[in-house]
């Protein structure tokens, strides 16, 4: 039976719809709750994929969150053996760092619903097959990354040019959130109320809630498409 190791950084940022797709694909998920002090393995088994979820910390916060260094080491190991890797938000930044790229603070925060523009490289990529050139996605980040050497950027937004990278054949970093549900967004708005207070007048939680009710069905469809294709990589191991 194929397996996937899922690293969760904080209690309120779970796998969301990724978990549903994994279970329906017959792949066995194994969770590492980094925030609970569970050990990050040094390597992956040969039939295991890796998913690294998001969190409010940054790649450079390893003094407070030492498990981040262990995650980078694990991603490096996964890249060496060509294992499927999916990094989301913080996970995409950790993937970029593991591949040798710079991760740094952006000029602004990108929180809420934003257009994402898939470029020609992205349109030709298997994981994005069938998606339109412009899609609406959910964002929650302030940090960003450079494209690692040898990697390919597949999509951008108006605020951040590097939104979706492919490293090697089967490793992808998504700065945005295709996995979220409406319930997750509602919880994040509550849990991160202090952060939102700092961007008051620029980012409106009420507008985010209203937009969520109109675009969530389409996000679910796109997320299922992308995650199913990622699971196909795992089945081919």
Where is 9: in which H helix or E strand?
Answer: none
Pair 123, 140: CB distance under 8 Å: no
Cα distance between residue 155 and residue 16, in whole Å: 22
- List all residues 6 or more positions away from 48 whose beta carbon is below 8 Å from its beta carbon: 2, 3, 4, 5, 30, 83, 237
φ, ψ for residue 220, nearest 5 deg: -60, -45
CA Rg value for the chain: 16
Pair 30, 23: CB distance under 8 Å: no
Cα distance between residue 14 and residue 6, in whole Å: 9
Q: 110, 170, 177, 234: which one is catalytic?
A: 177
Question: What three-state secondary structure class fits 126?
Answer: helix
- Locate 229 and state its tokens: 């294709």
Q: What is the DSSP letter of 177?
A: B
Respond yes or no: is residue 231 known to be catalytic.
no
Q: 89, 141, 170, 234: which one is catalytic?
A: 89
Q: 13, 71, 110, 179: which one is catalytic?
A: 179
Respond yes or no: is residue 136 known to be catalytic.
no
Respond yes or no: is residue 12 known to be catalytic.
no
Nearest to 185 by CA among 112, 90, 92: 112
Nearest to 132 by CA among 225, 231, 22, 17: 225
**Catalytic residue annotation:** 89, 177, 179
């Amino acid at each position: 039976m194929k397996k996937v190791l899922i690293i969760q950084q904080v209690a309120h940022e779970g796998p969301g719809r990724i978990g549903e797709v994994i279970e329906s694909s017959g792949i066995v998920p194994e969770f590492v709750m980094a925030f609970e002090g569970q050990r990050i393995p040094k390597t992956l088994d040969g039939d295991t994929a890796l998913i690294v979820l998001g969190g409010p910390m940054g790649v450079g916060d390893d003094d407070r969150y030492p498990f981040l260094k262990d995650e980078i080491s694990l991603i490096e190991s996964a890249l060496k053996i060509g294992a499927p890797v999916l990094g989301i938000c913080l996970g995409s930044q950790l993937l970029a760092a593991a591949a040798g790229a710079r991760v740094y603070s952006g000029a602004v925060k990108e929180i809420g619903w934003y257009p994402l523009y898939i470029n020609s490289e992205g349109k030709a990529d298997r994981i994005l097959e069938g998606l339109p050139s412009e899609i609406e996605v959910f964002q929650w980040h302030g940090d960003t990354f450079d494209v690692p050497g040898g990697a390919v950027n597949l999509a951008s937004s108006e605020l951040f040019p590097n939104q979706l990278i492919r490293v090697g054949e089967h490793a992808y970093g998504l700065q945005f959130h295709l996995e979220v549900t409406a319930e997750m967004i509602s919880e994040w708005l509550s849990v991160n109320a202090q952060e939102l207070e700092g961007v008051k007048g620029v980012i409106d939680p009420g507008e985010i809630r209203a937009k969520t009710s109109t675009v969530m069905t389409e996000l679910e469809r796109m997320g299922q498409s992308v995650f199913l294709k990622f699971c196909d990589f795992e089945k081919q191991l």
